[in-house]
Amino acid sequence: MSTGHGPRDAVDFDHPPADPLPLLERWLEDAKALATPNPNAMTLATVDADGAPSARIVLLRGLTREGARFFTNRNSRKGKALGAHARAALLFHWDLLDRQVRIEGRVTLAADAESDEYFAHRPVDSRVNAWASDQSEPVANRAELERRAEEMTRRFEGADVPRPPHWGGYRVSLDRIEFWQGDKYRLHDRVEYRMRADGTYEVRRLCP
């Protein structure tokens, strides 16, 4: 039962909506409205080919019924992990709202057209640096990074910077979504959605 403080009143956890997507979109908008730093930041957890877990922050760059989308270098450690095990977990945490959302699902590659469109809207320097950086690979020092960036800047001077073939989008399907609203005395509210074969969700309230 809600204790009536702050944003928790916006959700009835005893009678949650059947469809989690509008609620997730609303929570993202709530985070943006409070000027939360990087409200679209999410932890991406993967498992490497050897079974080792790994986590890092990426930015949500699109949310549809097909899943949560982000972009990265596919030769990076996370790209290699997703190539080995095409499942991942995502976590949003908005401290100012005392809220979390967890997502788990299958991972697929975004279409080339999607990746091209997003890449084309990035700042020029960011596009250049996508070519300059062998993400997750060792580098001698900062000076070497800057040398590579300058080399790529000269290479593409006066021309459009195309998307590198190793850079693109991923989508994590919304197979499981959990909403968490914090409580001052640790009696948190949690509701879990698990996708059925027909695309609808089984909804369960969870103990904190």
Catalytic residue numbers, as ranges: 186
Rg from Cα positions in the chain: 20
pLDDT band at 6 (very low <50, low <70, confident <90, very high): very low
For the cut 70, the answer to whether the pLDDT of residue 7 exceeds it is no
6-119+165-206 domain in CATH 2.30.110.10? Answer: yes
**Residue pLDDT, tens place only, 127-183:** 999 999 999 999 999 999 999 999 999 999 989 999 999 999 999 999 999 999 999
What pTM value is reported for the model?
A: 0.91
Burial (0-12, 13-18, 19+ Cβ within 10 Å), 21: middle
Secondary structure of the chain as H, E, C letters:
CCCCCHHHHHCCCCCCCCCHHHHHHHHHHHHHHCCCCCCCEEEEEEECCCCCEEEEEEECCCEECCEEEEEEECCCHHHHHHHHCCEEEEEEEEHHHCEEEEEEEEEEECCHHHHHHHHHCCCHHHHHHHHHCCCCCCCCCHHHHHHHHHHHHHHCCCCCCCCCCCEEEEEECCCEEEEEECCCCCCCEEEEEEECCCCCEEEEEECC
For the cut 80, the answer to whether the pLDDT of residue 199 exceeds it is yes
Query: How much is the mean pLDDT over the chain?
Result: 94
Q: Where are the domains of the chain?
A: 6-119+165-206
pLDDT at residue 4, rounded to an integer? 38
| C-alpha 144: how far from chain center | 30
